[in-house]
Amino acid sequence: MPKKEMEKMQYESVKKLVSHLYEFNQFYHNRMKEANVRPEDIQCLSDVSKLPFMYKQDLRDNYPTGLFTVPQKDVIRYHVSSGTTGKPTLVGYTNGDLDYWSEALARSLTSVGIGKDDTMQVSYGYGLFTGGLGLHYGAERVGATVLPSGTGSTERQIELMVDLGVTVIACTPSYLIHIGEVAEKMGIDIRRDTKLRKAVVGAEPWTESMRAHIESSMGVKAYDIYGTSEMAGPMFTECEERKGIHMQSDMVYVEIIDPETGEVLEPGQKGEMVVTMLKKEAFPLIRYRIKDLTCLLNDECPCGRTSPRIERIKGRSDDMLIIRGINVFPSQVEHTLMQIPEVGNQYMIIVNRKGSLDEMIVQVELKNEAFSDKMTDMMMLKSKIEAEMKKYLNIAVKVDLKEPETLPRFEGKAKRVIDNRVL
Ligand code: DLL
């Protein structure tokens, strides 16, 4: 759809949503009153910036169903996200919500060339987490054959992948790497012995270097998939061009703001993503601050889709570590490590406070061929990695080299940071 028409459509959706919630929902009514905004103040799309923000705290304060806007009888599904702090977030879905969520995923999967001829192994968790069921319904809608593996029993998953000629896998990037390692141990070469050709990976930050590693070691093309439980679950992916994630504009209105001032930023400027969901029924969101850091891309995608695109998520503003006053994202650590040929797939970041000083230790698992019993070789390698870290991150980091296969593996989202300062 041409950009102008698309914006008109988004404006009409926002206008309808805001008027409806102002009139029929106490929470939204009060919020808008406090901010001194009325539905008639929204005269054009950019007027959305007049509306007050919504925060995770609002979801917690209204747990479990205080922000639902339909009667219980119309809610047909719950998903629950297990926040690491505070109460979990409960999301409810009407029939219509499940329909548009599946539609979003069907479009996304189509845009990466997945369809009827594919057999898709869904190795995201099924259950309260949105990953498994979300991808499952999307894949069925495009007519793919779905293998609902969920997480775990990795060897069995690999056997099924071989036996059933699985062509696409959907899972977290950390689980995909683990699957690759287990396959190798079973004597299975994913390139040679399986039909796997695509991977739809996300639910956690990953880097271009990780993509290069996955693709060269497994012979698949890996696509980034993004979403959050508050939005519905996994929803949006890159297209075949892999130049940013297409945020389907009839479903979501995206703003990028300066996290400090709340001011709306221009395309190309990096900041925190704020979403207004345009089609949700049971659990709407207006200007919800997701905390993910990215920017809107302003060039046109060569695929021809006109929907706004966001750059790969760099991390969450609340994941950012401040080490001796310097901002460090776990994704920067990963990127640096992946450039070093001796380094394997797994790492862990540990932050301690020693007296008044922060100390960052990076545990790095080495590749088999790089690990040696010779103390001097290991000391040299350690210094080399520390020097790379210092160059790229601008702070001194202690590197702790680990033997292959000694750090934890993850079947769902990886947990790579232990910040002992906040314990
Ligand atoms: O992780 C939904 C999902 C399932 C997305 C499967 C993709 C695939 P939550 O558990 O609520 O929902 O976590 C959402 O995970 O705010 C981001 O910080 C992070 N995240 C999700 N996808 C990506 C991605 C699901 N592609 C939170 N890159 C989000 C980076 C991601 N971070």
Mean pLDDT of the 329-353 span: 94
Spatial CB neighbours of 418, under 8 Å, sequence gap ≥ 6: 348, 349, 350, 351
Which tens digit of pLDDT belongs to each residue from 95-108?
999 999 999 999 99
Is pLDDT of 321 > 70?
yes
Name the residue of 228, 245, 274, 285 to mutate for ligand 1: max ligand atoms within 8 A of Cβ.
228
Confidence of residue 85 (pLDDT cuts 50, 70, 90): low
Pair of tokens at residue 215: 């693709």
**Ligand 1 atom with the shortest distance to the CA of 290:** 16
8-state DSSP, 409? -
Confidence of residue 197 (pLDDT cuts 50, 70, 90): very high
> Rounded distance, CA 133 to CA 118, Å?
18
C-alpha pair distances (Å), 203 with each of 71, 180, 192, 297, 358: 30, 18, 28, 21, 29
Residue 364 phi/psi, 5-degree rounding, is -125, 120
Distance from residue 95's CA to the centre of ligand 1 (Å):
23
CB of 226 sitting under 6 A from ligand 1 = yes
Is pLDDT of 196 > 80?
yes
Distance from residue 332's CA to the centre of ligand 1 (Å):
18
Tell me the β-bridge partners of 319. none
**Ligand 1 atom with the shortest distance to the CA of 312:** 28
Distance from residue 52's CA to the centre of ligand 1 (Å):
24
Give which of 247, 295, 230, 303 is closest to 269, Cα–Cα.
Answer: 295
Is pLDDT of 84 > 70?
no
Distance from residue 192's CA to the centre of ligand 1 (Å):
31
Mean pLDDT of the 291-307 span: 95
Distance from residue 225's CA to the centre of ligand 1 (Å):
8
The three-point CA angle 63-412-352 to 5° equals 85
Q: What is the pLDDT of residue 326?
A: 87
CB of 122 sitting under 6 A from ligand 1 = no
Which residue's C-alpha comes closest to atom 21 of ligand 1? Answer: 203
Q: What is the pLDDT of residue 423?
A: 56
**What's the mean pLDDT when you consider all of the chain?**
95
Q: What is the pLDDT of residue 400?
A: 97
CB of 203 sitting under 6 A from ligand 1 = yes
**Ligand 1 atom with the shortest distance to the CA of 227:** 5
Spatial CB neighbours of 108, under 8 Å, sequence gap ≥ 6: 138, 225, 235, 236, 237, 246, 248
Give which of 55, 49, 20, 46 is closest to 35, Cα–Cα.
Answer: 49
Residue 49, by phi and psi: left (phi above 0), alpha (psi -120 to 50) or beta?
A: alpha
CB of 244 sitting under 6 A from ligand 1 = no
- Tokens 């029939």 belong to residue: 95
CB of 292 sitting under 6 A from ligand 1 = yes
> Rounded distance, CA 283 to CA 14, Å?
15
Which tens digit of pLDDT belongs to each residue from 204-250?
999 999 999 999 999 999 999 999 999 999 999 999 999 999 999 99
Is pLDDT of 316 > 90?
no
Pair of tokens at residue 56: 């995770």
List the domains of the chain with CATH numbers: 3-93+246-290 (3.40.50.12780), 97-237 (3.40.50.12780), 321-422 (3.30.300.30)
Q: What is the pLDDT of residue 5?
A: 96
Mean pLDDT of the 60-75 span: 95
Q: What is the pLDDT of residue 135?
A: 98
Q: What is the pLDDT of residue 325?
A: 84
CB of 128 sitting under 6 A from ligand 1 = no
Distance from residue 202's CA to the centre of ligand 1 (Å):
6
Q: What is the pLDDT of residue 116?
A: 98
Q: Do residues 282 and 224 lie in contact, with contact meaning Cβ atoms separated by under 8 Å?
A: no
Q: What is the pLDDT of residue 74?
A: 98
> Rounded distance, CA 132 to CA 203, Å?
11
Q: What is the pLDDT of residue 40?
A: 97
> Rounded distance, CA 31 to CA 288, Å?
13
Q: Do residues 344 and 381 lie in contact, with contact meaning Cβ atoms separated by under 8 Å?
A: no
Greater confidence (394 vs 94) lies with 94
> Rounded distance, CA 249 to CA 251, Å?
5
The structure's pTM equals 0.93
Which residue's C-alpha comes closest to atom 4 of ligand 1? Answer: 131
The percentage of the chain sitting over the pLDDT mark of 90, rounded to a whole number, equals 91
> Rounded distance, CA 25 to CA 284, Å?
11
Which tens digit of pLDDT belongs to each residue from 378-423?
999 999 999 999 999 989 999 999 999 999 999 999 999 999 986 5
> Rounded distance, CA 379 to CA 396, Å?
16
Distance from residue 214's CA to the centre of ligand 1 (Å):
19
CB of 234 sitting under 6 A from ligand 1 = yes
CB of 233 sitting under 6 A from ligand 1 = yes
Pair of tokens at residue 173: 């990037």
Distance from residue 29's CA to the centre of ligand 1 (Å):
30
Which tens digit of pLDDT belongs to each residue from 347-367?
999 999 988 789 999 999 999
